[in-house]
């Protein structure tokens, strides 16, 4: 197969059907004056911004003014000359990603239509290309016209009035572009993937290569079942030999195969003894093996692009739990894995703006925050190759959803169903070799009986029930039967409600929207919490990008456009009220910088409670996955720990510490304080534990040390307890625990504060700081709460938003040339500013 790339500079013209009519019966002549420049692959908003025609849609309220873009037809044009071989043999046009409804016209002749962002288009154009001056026209509609005559009524629950306009449920593109609580409507339009001319004189057209690696229960015998999809372009069967081998091993085979006319697949299996096992990060290495294949016919030898696989066994244990319900626990290579992570959404509202560097940086941040899992949420994307490459390489597990979220979908419509079946097959085959992929999930929150989306009354089968419960599992069974499938998230088998705390996976949202008292996380017993979170500010530079001059205050118009929509759920914003509820401070009286600190502190403490609670319950609970990791646009308030600019938000460090491989968590029972030691590493830990009670003014009321505390590998166990009776005044007294290595190096620490922060009696802290040998040491004679060194989040600091326990020094690596500056301390009595 030979290819001619058609990427690069194209021309594009707008039309609203009155002006600039799209000329579907295209003529060859292009009037350059009437066209703008466009980049392929690319997106129209990006082109318009780059040419200064529309302002930065991510700043101020510009996104609203850019809505006209999604209401036009965009007619792309490209001229190309075709090599002689493309004229003598067969030829195809291949579009990797068209966004969205496309009419494709070559030299005045319509050649194809397409309407699915999630799978490529191949159009045969044999005999239709000429030597020079071929005119390729692609007319694109963002999708709005395409579905304007489709019904909108009845597909969404509640007040989803905006769906009447965009009807996103009919459109196979990222659903969050149609406005979500954390991002505004910005419907992409453009040729968002590569375009090429492919041509050959061969009898076969090679399609997807999908090797699946597996290893048996004793982890000794591995195999790769390699499947190659191909089209026999002749009308007779073709005999061939499929060779498959794994580089640097003796696993190799040659399989005689026959390809009948039309589309089919061939396969061969190779075996390997004692493979090096692939582990999630923190549990072992991530060895990847290269699978190589070729197909030899009498006439031709086809070299197939290689794929990397990893050998690991994944099981999901859902045995009955003695205390009720069922476990929901991933075991990898027979070892239970506690899943720590967040929800991944598209890294930009404009998909073409996401380059591989941005994706890799995001995975870096996930690793920095001690994640081992990302849930790729069902309202976004099947992610890029770079995303899965990086997850495979670094050991980040992936829970991948099919792109259906928060609504009903017209899966009974024949055309819709045909389109989503093609999409699902394409994506299943595309990702089948990935060791990081441990689960496919049917959708986000669409299970029948779900509290929000009204899929049907209890016990009434909604039409798309069959799609998630029959069709998708059958498609997986055909192409990737080894992978675990969860019909929805959340989903609780055997229960009418899909979000049962003790069965399946959960979205524990009783806290986070209206109820902001995240102390209630402490009693939550979920088996596999998969999303739930607390709103907070993004980094200071990102906040300022949202808010042009004159609008840099809480609830300015630009603020509201960039705010999470939970803010509007009630006339009295619960999100605004959070600073008052926790701190007794009015956010409307704060500067943007003060808001970033104070509200960031609250979000960080909330996410810490979520993680601490679920981790200490391992393995009655087997995950702490929160909502959400990253942002798609600059938000003033969001759920995230990494914002659109990839800056760490204030909550980042709370999460990073809470996810550290070794952690202590304190809880209160009726008469005791119990200290849990959590060790996620594969090795037992011997450490020294100091614990007790101190007064915020510095005095230790109880101060005990246990030498040689043993925390077994991969476990959470109570390691100490003390009598609750001595804890007389929680407004001045805090319970604490610190773990040190036997030679005295600090490992981790934590504390338990019982009242709301505004109810505490805080002393004004006097913090001493010294910098020596690239380390900074902080000490304070009293308790200092959430010491802040940075609000920008651009640099990977060893620590930030940390506490100082009375007279317990905190030393952190500080390789920066400037000594640290303490920007804020969270003891409100001290007025905040240090
Ligand atoms: C859940 C998610 C998202 C949403 C989040 C926060 O429903 O699945 O749809 O963004 O809550 O509101």
Who's near 99: CB < 8 A, 6+ residues apart? 43, 117, 140, 142, 173, 188, 189, 190, 191, 192, 351
State whether the beta carbon of 182 lies less than 6 angstroms from ligand 1.
Answer: yes
Which residue, 635, 646, 652, 606, is CA-closest to 538? 635
State whether the beta carbon of 556 lies less than 6 angstroms from ligand 1.
Answer: no
The single-letter DSSP state of residue 361 is H
State whether the beta carbon of 406 lies less than 6 angstroms from ligand 1.
Answer: yes
Peptide bond preceding 608: is omega within 30 degrees of 0, i.e. cis?
Answer: no
Query: How confident is the model over 453-480, as a mean pLDDT?
Result: 79
| Ligand 1 nearest atom to the CA of residue 509, by list position | 11
Please state at what angle helix 385-394 crosses helix 356-368, rounded to 10 degrees.
Answer: 30
CA distance 760 to 775: 32
190 membership: H or E segment, kind and range: strand 190-191
Looking at residue 462, its pLDDT comes to 66
Q: What is the pLDDT of residues 518-542, one digit of tens each?
A: 999 999 999 999 999 999 999 999 9
User: How many angstroms is it from 571 CA to the middle of ligand 1?
Assistant: 20
Q: N- to C-terminal Cα distance for the chain?
A: 67
User: How many angstroms is it from 142 CA to the middle of ligand 1?
Assistant: 24
Residue 593 backbone phi and psi in degrees, to 5? -65, -45
Q: How many Cβ atoms sit within 10 Å of the Cβ of residue 22?
A: 20
Query: Is the pLDDT assigned to residue 161 strictly greater than 90?
Result: no
Which residue owns the Cα nearest ligand 1 atom 8? 444
Three-state DSSP at 802 gives strand
Looking at residue 458, its pLDDT comes to 46
Residue 713 backbone phi and psi in degrees, to 5? -60, 140
157, 181, 450: residue to mutate for ligand 1 pocket, most atoms within 8 A of CB: 181
Contact at 8 Å (CB) between 389 and 430?
A: no
CA distance 828 to 371: 32
* Bridge-based pairing state of the strands 437-441 and 397-401: parallel
Which residue, 589, 602, 585, is CA-closest to 637? 602
CA distance 309 to 215: 12
State whether the beta carbon of 95 lies less than 6 angstroms from ligand 1.
Answer: no
Three-state DSSP at 75 gives strand
Query: Is the pLDDT assigned to residue 157 strictly greater than 90?
Result: no
User: How many angstroms is it from 343 CA to the middle of ligand 1?
Assistant: 10
Between residues 834 and 603, the one the model is more confident about: 603
Which residue owns the Cα nearest ligand 1 atom 12? 181
User: How many angstroms is it from 444 CA to the middle of ligand 1?
Assistant: 9
State whether the beta carbon of 489 lies less than 6 angstroms from ligand 1.
Answer: no
Three-state DSSP at 302 gives strand
User: How many angstroms is it from 183 CA to the middle of ligand 1?
Assistant: 11
Which residue, 632, 625, 662, 503, is CA-closest to 564? 632
Looking at residue 465, its pLDDT comes to 85
CA dihedral 457, 460, 466, 468 (to 10 degrees): 30
pLDDT cut 90: percent of the chain above it:
91
State whether the beta carbon of 530 lies less than 6 angstroms from ligand 1.
Answer: no
Q: Which residues face 294 on adjacent strands? A: 243, 303
* Bridge-based pairing state of the strands 637-638 and 536-537: antiparallel
State whether the beta carbon of 567 lies less than 6 angstroms from ligand 1.
Answer: no
Q: Which residues face 491 on adjacent strands? A: 505
Which residue, 517, 399, 546, is CA-closest to 757? 517
559 membership: H or E segment, kind and range: helix 557-562
- What is the maximum alpha-carbon separation in the chain? 90
Q: What is the pLDDT of residues 222-274, one digit of tens each?
A: 999 999 999 999 999 999 999 999 999 999 999 999 999 999 999 999 999 99
State whether the beta carbon of 626 lies less than 6 angstroms from ligand 1.
Answer: no
Name the least confident of 442-451, 465-474, 577-586, 679-688: 442-451
Q: What is the pLDDT of residues 620-670, one digit of tens each?
A: 999 999 999 999 999 999 999 999 999 999 999 999 999 999 999 999 999
CA distance 575 to 515: 10
CA distance 208 to 255: 18
From residue 641, give the alpha-carbon distance in Å to each of 163, 372, 623, 629, 651.
Answer: 29, 15, 18, 6, 6
Half-sphere exposure for 669 (CA within 13 Å, toward CB): 11
State whether the beta carbon of 627 lies less than 6 angstroms from ligand 1.
Answer: yes
pTM passes above 0.85: yes
Q: What is the pLDDT of residues 679-737, one digit of tens each?
A: 999 999 999 999 999 999 999 999 999 999 999 999 999 999 999 999 999 999 999 99
pLDDT mean across residues, the chain: 95
CA distance 212 to 225: 5
176, 177, 406, 516: residue to mutate for ligand 1 pocket, most atoms within 8 A of CB: 406
Looking at residue 158, its pLDDT comes to 65
Half-sphere exposure for 21 (CA within 13 Å, toward CB): 6
Three-state DSSP at 216 gives coil
Looking at residue 21, its pLDDT comes to 75
Q: What is the pLDDT of residues 772-793, one digit of tens each?
A: 999 999 999 999 999 999 999 9
CA distance 95 to 138: 10
User: How many angstroms is it from 180 CA to the middle of ligand 1?
Assistant: 8
Three-state DSSP at 479 gives helix
Residue 368 backbone phi and psi in degrees, to 5? -60, -35
State whether the beta carbon of 444 lies less than 6 angstroms from ligand 1.
Answer: yes
Q: How many Cβ atoms sit within 10 Å of the Cβ of residue 200?
A: 19
Which residue, 663, 656, 690, is CA-closest to 678? 663
- pLDDT category of residue 28 using cuts at 50, 70 and 90: low
User: How many angstroms is it from 445 CA to the middle of ligand 1?
Assistant: 9
- pLDDT category of residue 24 using cuts at 50, 70 and 90: low
Looking at residue 830, its pLDDT comes to 41
Peptide bond preceding 228: is omega within 30 degrees of 0, i.e. cis?
Answer: no
User: How many angstroms is it from 399 CA to the middle of ligand 1?
Assistant: 16
Contact at 8 Å (CB) between 456 and 462?
A: yes
Looking at residue 675, its pLDDT comes to 98
Contacts 24+ apart (CB under 8 A), 565-568: 565/180, 565/181, 565/182, 566/181, 566/513, 566/535, 567/637
State whether the beta carbon of 183 lies less than 6 angstroms from ligand 1.
Answer: no
Looking at residue 22, its pLDDT comes to 72
User: How many angstroms is it from 739 CA to the middle of ligand 1?
Assistant: 36
176, 627, 638: residue to mutate for ligand 1 pocket, most atoms within 8 A of CB: 627
User: How many angstroms is it from 496 CA to the middle of ligand 1?
Assistant: 21
Contact at 8 Å (CB) between 803 and 785?
A: yes
| Ligand 1 nearest atom to the CA of residue 566, by list position | 12
Looking at residue 453, its pLDDT comes to 55
| Ligand 1 nearest atom to the CA of residue 639, by list position | 6
Looking at residue 832, its pLDDT comes to 39
CA distance 727 to 735: 8
CA distance 693 to 709: 19
Contact at 8 Å (CB) between 788 and 778?
A: no
| Ligand 1 nearest atom to the CA of residue 489, by list position | 8
User: How many angstroms is it from 507 CA to the middle of ligand 1?
Assistant: 9
State whether the beta carbon of 733 lies less than 6 angstroms from ligand 1.
Answer: no
CA distance 43 to 54: 13
Q: What is the pLDDT of residues 565-610, one digit of tens each?
A: 999 998 889 999 999 999 999 999 999 999 999 999 999 999 999 9
Contact at 8 Å (CB) between 528 and 622?
A: yes
Q: Which residues face 309 on adjacent strands? A: 289
Which residue, 158, 159, 180, is CA-closest to 168? 180
State whether the beta carbon of 445 lies less than 6 angstroms from ligand 1.
Answer: yes
CA distance 813 to 373: 27
User: How many angstroms is it from 516 CA to the middle of ligand 1?
Assistant: 16
Contact at 8 Å (CB) between 749 and 783?
A: no
State whether the beta carbon of 691 lies less than 6 angstroms from ligand 1.
Answer: no
CA distance 439 to 488: 11
Query: How confident is the model over 308-334, as a mean pLDDT?
Result: 97
Three-state DSSP at 779 gives strand
Residue 32, judged by CB atoms within 10 A of its CB (0-12, 13-18, 19+), counts as exposed
Query: Is the pLDDT assigned to residue 54 strictly greater than 80?
Result: yes
Q: What is the pLDDT of residues 550-574, one digit of tens each?
A: 999 999 999 999 999 999 998 889 9
CA dihedral 390, 394, 396, 401 (to 10 degrees): 20
| Ligand 1 nearest atom to the CA of residue 180, by list position | 10
616 membership: H or E segment, kind and range: helix 592-616
Which residue owns the Cα nearest ligand 1 atom 10? 181
State whether the beta carbon of 401 lies less than 6 angstroms from ligand 1.
Answer: no
- pLDDT category of residue 834 using cuts at 50, 70 and 90: very low
Who's near 788: CB < 8 A, 6+ residues apart? 597, 601, 650, 800, 801, 822, 823, 824, 825, 826
User: How many angstroms is it from 125 CA to the middle of ligand 1?
Assistant: 44
444, 491, 511, 513: residue to mutate for ligand 1 pocket, most atoms within 8 A of CB: 444
């Amino acid at each position: 197969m030979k290819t001619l790339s058609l990427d690069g500079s194209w021309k594009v013209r707008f039309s609203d059907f009155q002006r600039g009519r799209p000329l579907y019966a295209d003529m060859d002549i292009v009037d350059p004056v009437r066209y703008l420049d466009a980049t392929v692959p690319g997106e129209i908003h990006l082109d318009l911004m780059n040419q200064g025609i529309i302002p930065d849609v991510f700043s101020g309220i510009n996104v609203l003014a850019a809505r006209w873009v999604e209401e036009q037809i965009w007619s792309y044009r490209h001229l190309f000359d075709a090599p002689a071989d493309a004229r003598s043999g067969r030829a195809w046009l291949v579009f990797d990603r068209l966004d969205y409804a496309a009419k494709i016209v070559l030299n005045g002749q319509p050649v194809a239509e397409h309407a699915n962002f999630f799978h490529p288009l191949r159009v045969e154009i044999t005999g239709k290309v000429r030597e020079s001056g071929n005119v390729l026209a692609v007319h694109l509609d963002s999708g709005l016209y395409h579905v304007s005559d489709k019904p909108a009524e009845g597909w969404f629950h509640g007040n989803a009035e905006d769906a009447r306009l965009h009807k996103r449920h009919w459109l196979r593109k990222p659903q969050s572009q149609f406005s979500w609580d954390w991002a505004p409507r910005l419907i992409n339009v453009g040729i968002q993937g590569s375009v090429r001319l492919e041509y050959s004189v061969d009898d076969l057209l090679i399609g997807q290569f999908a090797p699946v690696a597996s290893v048996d229960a004793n982890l000794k015998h591995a195999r790769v079942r390699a499947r190659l999809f191909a089209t026999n372009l002749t009308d007779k069967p073709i005999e061939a030999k499929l060779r498959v081998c794994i580089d640097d091993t003796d696993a190799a085979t040659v399989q005689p195969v026959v390809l009948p006319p039309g589309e089919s697949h061939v396969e061969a299996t190779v075996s390997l003894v004692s493979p090096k096992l692939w582990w999630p990060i923190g549990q072992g290495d991530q060895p990847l093996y290269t699978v190589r294949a070729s197909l030899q016919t009498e006439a031709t030898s086809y070299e197939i692009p290689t794929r990397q696989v990893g050998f690991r066994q994944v099981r999901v244990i859902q045995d009955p739990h003695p205390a009720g319900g069922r476990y929901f626990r991933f075991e990898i290579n027979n070892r239970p894995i506690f899943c720590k992570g967040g929800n991944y959404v598209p890294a930009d509202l404009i998909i073409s703006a996401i380059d591989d560097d941005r994706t890799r940086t995001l995975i870096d941040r996930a690793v920095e925050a001690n994640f081992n899992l990302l849930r790729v949420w069902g309202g976004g994307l099947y992610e890029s190759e770079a995303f899965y490459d990086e997850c495979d390489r670094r050991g980040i597990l992936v829970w991948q959803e099919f792109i259906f979220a928060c609504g009903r979908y017209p899966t009974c419509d024949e055309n819709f169903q045909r389109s989503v079946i093609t999409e699902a097959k394409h994506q299943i085959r595309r990702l089948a070799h990935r060791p990081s992929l441990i689960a496919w999930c049917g959708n986000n929150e669409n299970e029948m009986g779900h509290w929000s989306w009204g899929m049907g009354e209890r016990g009434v089968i909604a039409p798309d029930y069959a799609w998630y419960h029959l069709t998708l599992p059958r498609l997986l069974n055909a192409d990737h039967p080894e992978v675990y499938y969860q019909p929805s998230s959340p989903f609780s088998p055997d229960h009418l409600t899909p979000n049962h705390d003790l069965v399946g996976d959960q979205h524990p949202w009783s806290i986070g929207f209206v109820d902001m008292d995240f102390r209630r996380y402490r009693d939550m017993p979920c088996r596999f919490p998969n999303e739930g979170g607390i709103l907070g500010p993004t980094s200071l530079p990102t906040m300022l990008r949202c808010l042009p001059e004159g609008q840099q205050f809480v609830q300015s118009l630009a603020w509201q456009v960039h705010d999470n929509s939970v803010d509007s759920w009630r006339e009295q914003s619960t999100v605004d009220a959070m600073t008052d509820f926790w701190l007794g401070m009015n956010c409307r009286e704060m500067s943007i910088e003060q808001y970033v600190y104070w509200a960031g502190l609250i979000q960080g403490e909330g996410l810490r409670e979520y993680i601490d609670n679920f981790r200490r319950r391992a393995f009655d609970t087997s995950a702490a996955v929160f909502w959400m990791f990253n942002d798609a646009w600059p938000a003033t308030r969001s759920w995230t720990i990494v914002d659109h600019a990839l800056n760490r938000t204030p909550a980042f460090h709370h999460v990073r510490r809470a996810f550290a491989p070794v952690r202590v968590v304190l809880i209160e029972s009726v008469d005791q304080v119990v200290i849990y030691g959590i060790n996620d590493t594969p090795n037992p830990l011997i450490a020294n534990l100091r614990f007790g009670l101190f007064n915020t003014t510095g005095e230790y009321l109880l101060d005990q040390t246990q030498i040689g505390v043993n925390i077994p590998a991969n476990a959470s166990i109570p390691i100490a307890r003390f009598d609750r009776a001595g804890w007389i005044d929680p407004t001045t007294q805090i319970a604490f625990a610190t773990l040190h290595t036997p030679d005295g190096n600090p490992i981790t620490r934590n504390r338990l504060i019982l009242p709301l922060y505004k109810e505490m009696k805080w002393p004004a802290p006097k913090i001493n700081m010294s910098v020596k040998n690239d380390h900074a040491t902080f000490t304070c004679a009293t308790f200092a709460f959430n010491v802040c060194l940075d609000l920008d989040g651009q640099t990977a600091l060893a620590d930030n938003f940390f506490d100082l326990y009375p007279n317990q020094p905190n030393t952190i690596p500080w390789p920066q040339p400037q000594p640290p500056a303490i920007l804020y301390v969270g003891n409100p009595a001290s007025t905040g500013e240090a």
